[in-house]
Every structure is written in C-alpha cells, then in structure tokens.
Structure 1
Amino acid sequence: MNKSNKFSPEVKERAVRLVQEHRGEYSSLWAAVESIAPKIGCVPQTLLEWVKRAEIDVGERPGTTTAEAQRMKDLERENKELRRANDILRTASAFFAQAELDRKLKS
C-alpha cells in the first residue's frame, strides 16, 4: 500500500504544535484535534495519528519511534539482500563443484 504525502513535514509539525499548544483549552485531546484538523485541511483521525507519533518520538508515549522503525526497515531490507546473495553464492558454489566433479570423471 502506497501512501501519498499530501501534507509536507512542515505542515504536520505546525499542526501537531497547534494541538499541543492549545490542548489545555479543550476538554480532551480529541476535542482539540477535532477543532484544529479542519483548519489544517485534514481529517481529525490523521491529525490524531500525527500527534501520537510526535509524542512517541519525544518519549511522552510508549511505542516504536520513527527512527527505530526506519532502522528496523533498513535492517530487514539488508537482511533480505544478504539472504539473496547467500542463495546465489550457494547455487554458484554447487554448480562449480559439480563442474569440477564432471571434469575429473572425463579425464
């Protein structure tokens, strides 16, 4: 699933900052999000996710930070590439070993 980035990082940061700055003026986080989301031009659920992600990234909420998630993704990609390279090397090694055996038998 490919997400389009309709909002720039600057807009997201500004929206999160607005929620955090005005949070005390509302009865709940959701009330603040519902009030500010239309001003940014996004749905409240999206803004709430941005706020939660920002809180996780600064350590105010438990969870995997954006940096940790990216590092895991990079390591998984590298692991997949290394496994593929090992398979190729294993296949090539078997091929050349068989070729060497065939050559010895023909002599």
Structure 2
Amino acid sequence: MTVEQIAKGFGVHPMTMFEWLCQAGIDAGAEPGVSRTDEVELREARKRIKLIEQENEVLHRAAAYLSQANLPGKALPRS
C-alpha cells in the first residue's frame, strides 16, 4: 500500500501524510529535527520565564516605592 493510498483512506492530502510520517520519525528520534514535545516544553518554558520576569518587575517597583516611603520627611501617599 502506498502513502497516497493510505492518505486517501484517511481523507487527507498525501503531502499531509508525508509530513505526519516525517514528524513521527523526528518524535521517535529516528530523524534529526525538533520534536513536538520539545516545542511544547519550549513554549511552556517561555511562558514561565515571562511570568517570572513580570513578578520580578513588580518586586522591583514595590521595593523602590517602599524605599522612597522610608526616606526622612516622606510619607506614603494616601489612596
């Protein structure tokens, strides 16, 4: 059975089937390339890094605000 016949059986274009087969080889480690698992982990790591950078910025701003409040003659502004 050819890839074209299998693709037709799945109702997809033969190039789609070739791409799936190629990605399956990469994911299995049989071919060089970036696996889908690596892509997902990288995307999640970038999200965590962004969140940590945002949290760090909040802490820097809070520290700067509080250090200004502790200067002599300065009082915390009231909301």
Provide the TM-score with structure 1 as the length reference: 0.61
Query: In the superposition, relative to structure 1, how do residues 71 and 99 fare at CA in structure 2: closer, same or farther (>3 Å)?
Result: same
Letter in 1 for 2:73: L
1:77 matched to 2:54? The reply is no
1:48 matched to 2:18? The reply is yes
Provide the TM-score with structure 2 as the length reference: 0.79
Query: In the superposition, relative to structure 1, how do residues 42 and 92 fare at CA in structure 2: closer, same or farther (>3 Å)?
Result: same
Structure with the larger helix share: 1
5+ long unaligned stretches in structure 2: none
For CA contacts below 8 A with separation 6 or more, give which structure has more relative contact order.
1
Percent sequence identity over aligned pairs? 32
Q: Which residue of 2 is the match for residue 9 of structure 1? A: none
**How many residues are treated as equivalent by the alignment?**
75
